[in-house]
Structure 1
Amino acid sequence: MAENEHYLDQSATTKPSESALRAMNAAAWGNPSSVHRIGAEAAAQLKAARAAVGATLGMPRITRDRLIFTSCGTESNNIALLGAAAAKKRDPERPGTVILSDGEHPSLENPARQLEERQGYRVFRVPTPRGVPDLDALKEALGRAKEDGFPVIFAGFMLVNNETGAVYDVRSTASLVRRAFPDAVIHCDAVQGYLKLKKNRFSPLALGVDTMTLSAHKIHAVRGAGALYLSENVIRRKNIVPVMPGGGQEGGFRSGTENLPAIASFAAAAEEGFSDLDSRCEKTASLRAVLDRGIARLSETYPGLGLNTPAGESLPNIASVRLPGIRSETMLNFLSGKGIYVSAGSACSAASKKKSAALLAFGLRDDEADSVIRVSMDHTNTEADIAAFLSGLEEGLNGLQRKK
């Protein structure tokens, strides 16, 4: 990347670190399932990578919990949800209820909608006004599921919203579901919170969840690897089953030869990020303070400019910036032309013309959601990046008019 370019789209993907690239290039090329020496070398590296990533989640070396490697966060989410739906013989008239936070990532929302439309599942979306899950609405939904005989089989709550930065109280929501439906699989998509919140804030044990999704390319590893944590409770009760039968790799939950170079890169980035987590969090918080002051200053000149600030806790890495009378796409193109790279929300659904479900769930109107950009940063950014963004934003606000 050129010196005059400023990358502030870290929630979409991150540049692989030097240690992650070295680990990728040093990874054994053999098949970990082969019994000869070349395969055994690969299997040993795979085992070490699993232990390294597991350690960042607080998993002891000797445990009946399991960490399986996948290709990405989307695959991990699908295995968790669809595997839970397929695990038990269901009453075709009342197969069950799926609970999600409103504005959940499409890799959970879309398969849930398919279960709803094709198999008759009920899907309840917990309202999240201003980024705070409505626990009263969740309690009401749990009671209705009991009364109607539609047992909750899966409940999924993201740890950090990928567009607003809202940090959800996963522990409280998980506890409510657990008390009402002990056999439900309680899942957390931790992709945006992993190695960005302080230690133990993304531990599945601390959050009280059964399954958890991680993604390598969000933490400065190469693309092509994700992970899914499975608790011993889920495995023992067979509350999740494989949804893609094959050779039985990854404990049978994710068949297919493991992508060891990407997994090795994942493990290296995880170890590096975990050991340096406190200083990374401090630096990002400092950068966010600079951004917030700059937005506040500009808002005095440009009424309507502001931040979509969650009512509860928020992650400093993600800032949702509300533009006055300028479409997101217009501002994105303007900033991109100046070498300043931000986004209009989730990169996974950027090609869609639909309004952001996360922003609508947050409480924005359609027209407001169409005038929001996401600035996402981490420890690799500098104050120069923030200054360039604020300068470019001011120039754009001064010169752009809303395109109908």
Structure 2
Amino acid sequence: MSLQQSLSQIYLDANATTPVLPQAADAALAAMKTGFGNPSSSHVTGLRAKQIMTQTRERAQRILGSGEGEVIFTSGATEGIQTGIISALSAAKQNMDPNKKYCLLYGATEHKAVPESLKHWNAILGIHAEIVAIPVDNQGTLDTKFIAQHLSNALMICTMAVNNETGVYQDLTALEQVIRANNPHVYWMVDCVQALGKTGLNLADTTIDYAPFSGHKLYAPKGIGFVYIRKNAPFTPFIAGGGQEGGLRSGTENLPGMAALNEIFAIMLDESDFKFTPIALLHEFRLQMRQSLEKAFGKVIFNHEFENSVPTTLNFAIEGFSSKEIMDLFDAAGIRVSSGSACSSKVTRSFVLDAMGIPAWQSEAAIRMSFGPAMTQEEVNRACQRIEQSAMALGHSCLMSQHHIDDKAPLAGLIQFKVGGSCTWLYVDADDKSAIVIDPLAQVSERINTLIECQQLNLVGVIDTHGHADHESSRNVIADKYLAAQSSDHLGWPDNAETFELGDDKFAYIPVGKKWLVQIKTPGHTSDSISMALCEPVTSQLDVQYLFCGDTILMGSLGRTNFDCSNTADMFSSLRLIDNVVSRDALLCPSHDYNNEFTSSIDAEIARNNLLQQTLTGVINKSQFVTQKDLLDQHIVDESGSEIICGAFVGECQQQRMNEYDSDTLANALNGTDKSIKLIDIREPHEYALQHDQSFDENVPLTRFVQFINENKHDKNAEIVLLCRSGSRSHVAGQALIRLGFENVGHLKGGYALC
């Protein structure tokens, strides 16, 4: 197998880290190969090494305007933060009044390294001051009135020069006036990591006591940084030992890192043939990218003002798309961006934007584009071109209305949309484009509208499985637009639905293309709960493909029955009814999927849900079910301890073993004569269109994965290997297949990223 090479990357995540400039890398390599001496040694090799260190420090002092202050080399900004905090708090502790309550102030939008370090050393040193976040306004500016009110009791105040997520800068002169007017002696640390190379600094002219910096944010290697200490500011060494750095920071110096920094400083001081881009041109670059985003995606919401932010950062959200969707889209196009701080990459919300009062959807959908002063016009041009190509790929998938194109990707079968743990289902008949929407979430209503119009679907119903308590349904919004003439009940079930009899039971149904959507009344979770079976036209029994079961049966659980409108005894009867009319291998499509399991079946749930198994096999009666179910409802929590709105967890989501391949082992497997492997790229169609390997058989996006499972559930012995961008989605999808009985499932560990 020869996997496609990655597109040449457009790197727009400089606030996380930067590539090492070639001249900086060359200087580091030279320091390792020829200038490798220990700066503390007195022989010639050591003296030459010491000269590199001395020159680097002198250049740093000139750039910072440090005057008589100290510049100490560290392993990075985090060490510099520790140095400032432990120095300030050690000194402050000596003069504390035991009868006075003290606080430590920090900006609410600070990098997490600051408050976490304050908490740590506050406890270790036994100071036990209250740690207080300084609020910001909707532009990210610190509240100076709040600062003034709290400074009299403050031992230390920590602010930042430039925010890493939004690029917002603080007016340090105005801050200094407020701080010193209200507490001339409070220790003040300013995180200057994102300011280096983007704003001017003249630290000796300020009363800033400590200022940490990091090399890898400005084209130097990781593992090298420095911290400024104002003259006469108290100092406690963070690392003791051999007495290097004049006894201020022990440990053999990182000479290759310093040599690289030395080259960066030479560029900043205009002492190099290489030039950084002027600030005015960086502003122009940001404007060009902003214009491309707006041209490509239409309405783009920027999460910060451009007037009070450095020109190298854009933080924005695109309505209707999560941050992960846009990150995956850009990554497929070779554009590297982030959803916020790289140190908080697993967090879905931005605490910085939350502190600014930005709406929750913008915080959850935030994307950060950031670049450095080495950015060139040619790189900006390529970035803008890729941004517009990315949006065109969304148009090809009918996910953006302003990009309708003639060769749009066909849409047929079942599609699953997920927001958090909630699901919306869209089924489209391949022949006549009849469509049905089940449990529509407000967050996906615009996407559904776009699909309906782009694909010219014939919407026959928008139906909720019950009255939802945990989220807003957009049923009325969609129905009013496309089904204004249709009369229905409060869940959207059409009043004119036809009926049929099956045994002693009578059911209502509506046609969806060649299929029937059959209503099954399943009260229990709520009094109005229904399930809907999508099946072939009925003859003697229901031939069900999908059962939209709301919150009656969930993956690994049963719906809770302790609402005012719930009835546990009714749920018992509903479960028995479902088992009577639906085959046990039919796929269940609930309105919640808390563990990313996509779908299930009665067989799969019985295997791990003892209460369901006992109910359906007649081991327990209705009264016993009510007793056991009520006990379960008293403990409705997820693994983090948070309450789950609609589920009563009675089973476990167990990790299954699967075949894990890397590019070499998969290539060997594919070249074997005794194996027939089906390769499935499970990224979304727009990602697949932008970049994919031609050797993969087909694209089965996760939004259509349940359809794939249904189409292949009668061939569970086939060997299937799944692929995605990073290996994360393919692993989750593989787990779902194994749980449903597929026997030969594997995935490409690391995905495209590591191939």
TM-score in terms of structure 1 length: 0.87
Bigger fraction of residues in helix: 1
Match of 1:111 in 2: 117
Tell whether the 8 Å contact from 1:46 to 1:260 is kept in structure 2 after alignment.
Answer: yes
Q: 1:324 pairs with 319, 322, 326, which one?
A: 319
Q: 2:162 pairs with 160, 184, 204, which one?
A: 160
Q: Measure the CA separation in 2 of the matches of 1:285 and 1:135.
A: 28
Q: Measure the CA separation in 1 of the matches of 2:180 and 2:159.
A: 13
Q: 1:125 pairs with 115, 118, 133, which one?
A: 133
Q: 1:388 pairs with 360, 385, 388, which one?
A: 385
Residue segments in structure 2 that go unaligned for 5+ positions in a row:
400-416, 421-755
Give the direction of change, closer, same or farther, for the CA distance of 1:11–1:274 in structure 2 (3 Å limit): farther
Range with greater deviation from structure 2 (5-14 or 382-391): 382-391
Range with greater deviation from structure 2 (320-329 or 289-298): 289-298
- Deviations along 1:160-192, whole A, 9 cap, x unmatched? 111011111122212322233222221111111
Q: Measure the CA separation in 2 of the matches of 1:252 and 1:93.
A: 36
Give the direction of change, closer, same or farther, for the CA distance of 1:6–1:169 in structure 2 (3 Å limit): same
Match of 1:99 in 2: 105
1:291 pairs with 2:299: no
Give the direction of change, closer, same or farther, for the CA distance of 1:175–1:295 in structure 2 (3 Å limit): same
CA root-mean-square deviation: 2.5
Give the direction of change, closer, same or farther, for the CA distance of 1:389–1:207 in structure 2 (3 Å limit): farther
What are the residue-to-residue correspondences of 1:80-229 with 2, within 5 Å?
80-87=84-91, 88-89=93-94, 90=96, 94=100, 96-115=102-121, 119=126, 120-129=128-137, 130-142=139-151, 146=152, 150=153, 152-197=154-199, 201-229=200-228
Tell whether the 8 Å contact from 1:331 to 1:396 is kept in structure 2 after alignment.
Answer: no
SS in 1 for 2:163: coil
Q: Measure the CA separation in 1 of the matches of 2:141 and 2:339.
A: 21
Q: Measure the CA separation in 1 of the matches of 2:245 and 2:325.
A: 45
- Deviations along 1:112-161, whole A, 9 cap, x unmatched? 2334566411222221222111111111122xxx3xxx3x2222211111
Tell whether the 8 Å contact from 1:287 to 1:386 is kept in structure 2 after alignment.
Answer: no
1:263 pairs with 2:258: yes
Range with greater deviation from structure 2 (277-286 or 24-33): 277-286
Q: Measure the CA separation in 2 of the matches of 1:264 and 1:92.
A: 48
Q: Measure the CA separation in 2 of the matches of 1:15 and 1:133.
A: 32
SS in 2 for 1:375: strand
Give the direction of change, closer, same or farther, for the CA distance of 1:347–1:207 in structure 2 (3 Å limit): farther
Give the direction of change, closer, same or farther, for the CA distance of 1:184–1:393 in structure 2 (3 Å limit): farther
SS in 1 for 2:278: helix
SS in 2 for 1:292: helix
- Deviations along 1:41-75, whole A, 9 cap, x unmatched? 2222211110011111124xxx5311000011111
1:64 pairs with 2:81: no
Deviation (angstroms), 1:394: 2.0
Give the direction of change, closer, same or farther, for the CA distance of 1:355–1:112 in structure 2 (3 Å limit): farther
Tell whether the 8 Å contact from 1:248 to 1:254 is kept in structure 2 after alignment.
Answer: yes
Tell whether the 8 Å contact from 2:303 to 2:362 is kept in structure 1 after alignment.
Answer: no
Match of 2:60 in 1: 53
Deviation (angstroms), 1:353: 2.8
Q: Measure the CA separation in 2 of the matches of 1:397 and 1:244.
A: 52
Q: Measure the CA separation in 2 of the matches of 1:393 and 1:336.
A: 10
SS in 2 for 1:164: coil
Q: Measure the CA separation in 2 of the matches of 1:73 and 1:108.
A: 10
SS in 1 for 2:221: coil
Deviation (angstroms), 1:339: 1.1
Structure label with greater radius of gyration: 2
Query: What is the identity, as a one-letter code, of the residue corresponding to 2:42?
Result: V
Higher relative contact order (CA 8 A, sep 6+): 1
- Number of equivalent positions: 383
SS in 1 for 2:232: helix
Deviation (angstroms), 1:220: 1.1
Q: Measure the CA separation in 2 of the matches of 1:396 and 1:207.
A: 51
Match of 1:41 in 2: 48
Q: Measure the CA separation in 2 of the matches of 1:383 and 1:368.
A: 25
Match of 2:16 in 1: 12
Give the direction of change, closer, same or farther, for the CA distance of 1:255–1:265 in structure 2 (3 Å limit): same
Query: What is the identity, as a one-letter code, of the residue corresponding to 1:390?
Result: I
1:346 pairs with 2:350: no
Percent identity reads: 27
Q: Measure the CA separation in 2 of the matches of 1:86 and 1:389.
A: 52
SS in 2 for 1:232: coil
Q: Measure the CA separation in 2 of the matches of 1:163 and 1:385.
A: 23
Match of 2:30 in 1: 26
Tell whether the 8 Å contact from 2:224 to 2:257 is kept in structure 1 after alignment.
Answer: yes
Bigger fraction of residues in strand: 2
Deviation (angstroms), 1:206: 4.5
Residue segments in structure 1 that go unaligned for 5+ positions in a row:
none
1:373 pairs with 2:372: no
Tell whether the 8 Å contact from 1:101 to 1:126 is kept in structure 2 after alignment.
Answer: yes
SS in 1 for 2:104: strand
Deviation (angstroms), 1:19: 1.8
Tell whether the 8 Å contact from 2:7 to 2:334 is kept in structure 1 after alignment.
Answer: no
SS in 2 for 1:194: coil
Q: 1:360 pairs with 327, 343, 354, which one?
A: 354
Tell whether the 8 Å contact from 2:103 to 2:155 is kept in structure 1 after alignment.
Answer: yes
Q: Measure the CA separation in 2 of the matches of 1:259 and 1:241.
A: 21
